[in-house]
Amino acid sequence: MSGPMGVAILGATGTIGENTLDVIARHPERFRAVALGARRDVGKLLAQCERFRPDYAALAEPQAAADLERALRERGLPTRVLAGPGALEHIAALPEAPAVMAGIVGAAGLASTLAAARAGQRLMIANKESLVMAGPLLLAQARASGAMLLPIDSEHNAIFQCLPPGLAPGCEPPGVRRILLTASGGPFLDWSAEQLAAATPAQACKHPKWVMGRKISVDSATLMNKGLEVIEARILFGLAADRIDVVVHRQSLVHSLVEYVDGSLLAQLGSPDMRTPIAYALGWPERIDSGVQSLDLAQAGSLQFEPPDPVRFPCLPLAREAARVGGLAPAVLNAANEVAVAAFLEGRLNFCGISRVIEAVIDAGPSGTATDLDSVLAADASARERAVREVVRLGRTGATG
């Protein structure tokens, strides 16, 4: 090997970014953090620059970038600072950082993820929204440039590990009957409809198994996270939505399964720690140390599996339907969900209002094909506007339950 592989991390200050840096720090001879990008967290990015000495640091918010620049110069650090939304796209396509971790949460990560695909990078995708909103575009760009797609979402990484090697992104794997995505069920799995109506943001953000950001924690509580993952799996593995099943598995030790036509089920198990999928993607096709503890199966005791409840968790069937329809439907679903979740976190919408907002926005249309990024962004913008109006309407009627 000729020197360490350069890595760019989009979303360096988030959970995925910090875990990626943790794995990189274990293998200084193999990897080097060449570029770190975030939206606005100056303090954390500065600390990372001091420790990892990247060539580039990018912040999407110009004022934050100016603050970082000043702090770096005061400390005599030579890291080049890039500012504005284009900065993330720039570091996604650097030739000296051919491995890109797309770890920005939400639609904000779309443009930079697409830029990495266009540039033919080794693209480690943790930004599920780019697959959900613009999956066909992302696949087309990856195919055209030869970019490799390595899923980081624990479920899709598990499936990737259980599939035969060498498959092109988005191509149906041979001999597969179906995919089974496991769901922890989130913090409200056993809550009654009445309890769900009164659920608070703090309760929703207390996930039993995984430590995650606030938005994805709420998605986990509504099961929308699993719904988005159905859409994600449909894009990544080229299977129709009716061949992607969801099973609730409280222990979060089986990260997902692939069923083959001969009846074989292959599963990937491990401690719930994002460093496993991150290390797998960084090292692929080799296996490298991730710092993750061994899983003690005897201590785990039993593994349970049960069906998800579509009545208490209507976001899952809403997402399944969007996966089946395809085109712009997943982008509309995702936009409505982001608006509704933000409103819930800010106390302007109750928990059960989240699925109501999404359903109302989907019912209003539009559908259609995702021909280019502009059509996706237009569908996203109009769905957000409708969702904002719907949040106000539901808030005003004081709808509960």
Unique residue bearing structure tokens 């699993």? 226
**Nearest residue to Mg ion, scored by beta-carbon proximity:** 153
| Cβ-based nearer residue to Mg ion, 82 or 205 | 205
Q: Please check whether residue 10 is in contact with residue 92, taking contact to mean a CB–CB distance below 8 angstroms.
A: yes
| Cβ-based nearer residue to Mg ion, 79 or 127 | 127
| Cβ-based nearer residue to Mg ion, 233 or 349 | 233
| Cβ-based nearer residue to Mg ion, 55 or 153 | 153
Number of residues counted as binding Mg ion (CB under 5 A): 3
Q: How far is the CB of 225 from Mg ion (least distance, A)?
A: 6
Q: How far is the CB of 66 from Mg ion (least distance, A)?
A: 35
| Cβ-based nearer residue to Mg ion, 155 or 273 | 155
The partner residues of 148 in beta bridges, in order of sequence, read 122
CA–CA separation, 345 vs 334, rounded Å? 16
Q: How far is the CB of 209 from Mg ion (least distance, A)?
A: 11
- Long-range Cβ pairs for the range 137-141 (8 Å, 24+): 137/370, 137/372, 137/373, 137/376, 138/113, 138/114, 138/235, 139/169, 139/170, 139/235, 141/114, 141/117
Residues numbered 3 to 22 that lie near Mg ion (CB under 5 A) are none
| Cβ-based nearer residue to Mg ion, 153 or 380 | 153
Residues numbered 146 to 165 that lie near Mg ion (CB under 5 A) are 153-155
The radius of gyration of the chain from alpha carbons, rounded to an integer in Å, stands at 21
At 329, the amino acid letter reads A
Q: Tell which residue, 22, 87, 86, 85, has the closest CA to residue 48.
A: 22
Q: How far is the CB of 153 from Mg ion (least distance, A)?
A: 4
Q: How far is the CB of 232 from Mg ion (least distance, A)?
A: 9
Residue 219 interacts with Mg ion (CB under 5 A): yes or no? no
Q: How far is the CB of 273 from Mg ion (least distance, A)?
A: 13
CA–CA separation, 2 vs 89, rounded Å? 26
Q: Which residues bind Mg ion (CB under 5 A)?
A: 153-155
